[in-house]
Amino acid sequence: MTQIIKARYPSNIALVKYWGKRDNQLPCNTSLSMTLNDSFSEVSLQYSEKHSSLTEFGYYFEGIPKENFRARVLEYVIKQKEFSSLLKNYALRIDSKNNFPHSAGIASSASAFAAIAAVLLKASAISSDTDFTRDASRLARLGSGSACRSFYGPYASWGHLREINNSSDDYAIPVKEIHENFRSMRDAVLIVEDSPKKIPSSVGHAMMKHHPFAAARFQQADKHCIEMLSALKNGDMEAFISITEGEALSLHAMMMTSGDYYLLFKPETVYIMEQIFQFRKDTGLPVCFTLDAGPNVHLLYPESIEEKIIQFLKNNFCDQLKSVIYDHAGQGGSII
Ligand code: PMV
């Protein structure tokens, strides 16, 4: 008999960035993200008993076999002891799809690995209901670090810090105290380039191993996490803006100042960031940017000023933008 388990998990955008890892996908610093709502992956796992000792594992993206990702996911499944009896006893087929375009500056590995870990864990039936989310977050981390934060919303942190209760390097936890000001934050993803990533995040993480500024960067990120938690709790928009933009620039500064330096900004990225500084100065409106490891810009602002932001985008960026994806803070994913 074939059984099916489905899950839907969103992507997330880091406000305090994870950049640098050690051992088995453990972070060198604590990170903190906003969970998206509308940009998600849907994954279905079909499994049926098999009668041979051969591994039977299929991976399909939008209905089409995806060989490179199949190899990555199969290696991931083989490595996790939690999934060993599933792989041994069942023929597995994973189908995945995203409801957002590829190469848009929205991390599909975060949403996909969150959903993949969740369906495999559910099928393995080894976690109690109370432990499920935490176990799935830990297992998702082993597939793609940032995926572990997609289990909670609207904000999640990942990484152990004495100052954060119950925090761990192994899995993410929800941010508990969130002021009204930050409950309905929007994220407009301004797409200046929609071609695939030139340099994978894994290369950037590896560069932090011998980076001359690594120690200072990890300290800075940890400090930013503590300050961001307090900003989220107290409704301090000014602190939110300065930490978020400072983090985006620090992330890219790490790329630009590593031994094998590289640059992901495009002229449009710089133009947009400068326009945002100016717009904020002119209007006093609470809007800021963050960047992932790419040239596209995430514009963050409260729902209450959405109309003004849409007008600002229309007035200023017609020539720079390929498209805009409007999303907002969400609650994390689930088995469906
Ligand atoms: O989860 P990874 O290995 O793709 O790394 C994510 C790195 C950043 O997106 C740049 C930062 C973050 O914390 O999500």
Which residue in 227, 246, 313, 303 sits closest to 37, CA to CA?
303
For the chain, domain boundaries: 3-177, 180-328
Class of domain 180-328: alpha beta
**C-alpha of residue 218 to centroid of ligand 1, in Å:** 14
CB of 136 closer than 8 Å to CB of 335 = no
More confident residue, 102 or 35: 35
More confident residue, 198 or 62: 62
Q: Which residue has the tokens 């899995």?
A: 171
**C-alpha of residue 291 to centroid of ligand 1, in Å:** 11
Ligand 1 atom at shortest distance from the alpha carbon of 202: 3
Q: Is the CB of 247 under 6 A from ligand 1?
A: no
> What is the DSSP secondary-structure string of 250-282?
HHHHHHHTSTT------HHHHHHHHHHHHHHHH
In this prediction, residue 194 has a pLDDT band, given cuts at 50, 70 and 90, of: confident
Q: What distance in Å separates the CA atoms of residue 152 and residue 140, rounded to the nearest whole number?
A: 13
CB of 5 closer than 8 Å to CB of 43 = no
Q: What distance in Å separates the CA atoms of residue 208 and residue 285, rounded to the nearest whole number?
A: 35
Q: What distance in Å separates the CA atoms of residue 269 and residue 280, rounded to the nearest whole number?
A: 17
List alpha helices for the chain, DSSP H.
67-79, 84-89, 108-124, 129-143, 201-207, 214-234, 237-256, 267-283, 306-316
Give pTM, 2 decimals: 0.97
Q: Is the CB of 146 under 6 A from ligand 1?
A: yes
Per-residue pLDDT, averaged over 28-41, amounts to 98
**C-alpha of residue 315 to centroid of ligand 1, in Å:** 32
List alpha helices for 16-83, DSSP H.
67-79
Q: Is the CB of 35 under 6 A from ligand 1?
A: no
User: 220: burial class by Cβ within 10 Å (0-12, 13-18, 19+)?
Assistant: middle
Furthest CA-CA distance within the chain: 69
Q: Is the CB of 14 under 6 A from ligand 1?
A: yes
**C-alpha of residue 93 to centroid of ligand 1, in Å:** 27
**C-alpha of residue 54 to centroid of ligand 1, in Å:** 34
In this prediction, residue 224 has a pLDDT band, given cuts at 50, 70 and 90, of: very high
CATH number 3.30.230.10 given to 3-177: yes
pLDDT of residue 102: 81
More confident residue, 130 or 32: 32
pLDDT tens-digit map of 130-154: 899 999 999 999 999 999 999 999 9
Q: 3-class SS at 288? A: strand
Q: Is the CB of 296 under 6 A from ligand 1?
A: no
More confident residue, 196 or 47: 47
| Side chain identity, residue 207 | M
Q: Is the CB of 145 under 6 A from ligand 1?
A: yes
Per-residue pLDDT, averaged over 227-254, amounts to 98
More confident residue, 105 or 331: 331
Q: 3-class SS at 331? A: coil
% of the chain residues with pLDDT over 70: 100
CB of 322 closer than 8 Å to CB of 193 = yes
Per-residue pLDDT, averaged over 98-118, amounts to 91
Q: In the structure encoding, which two tokens stand for residue 129, read together?
A: 């209901």
Q: What distance in Å separates the CA atoms of residue 218 and residue 237, rounded to the nearest whole number?
A: 24
Mean pLDDT, the chain, rounded, equals 96
**C-alpha of residue 18 to centroid of ligand 1, in Å:** 6
Q: In the structure encoding, which two tokens stand for residue 88, read together?
A: 């041994």
In this prediction, residue 218 has a pLDDT band, given cuts at 50, 70 and 90, of: very high
At residue 27's C-alpha, the angle toward residues 22 and 31, to 5°, is 165
CB of 273 closer than 8 Å to CB of 289 = yes
pLDDT of residue 320: 83
Ramachandran quadrant class, 159 (left: phi over 0; alpha: psi -120 to 50; beta: rest)? left
pLDDT of residue 106: 85
Q: Is the CB of 293 under 6 A from ligand 1?
A: yes
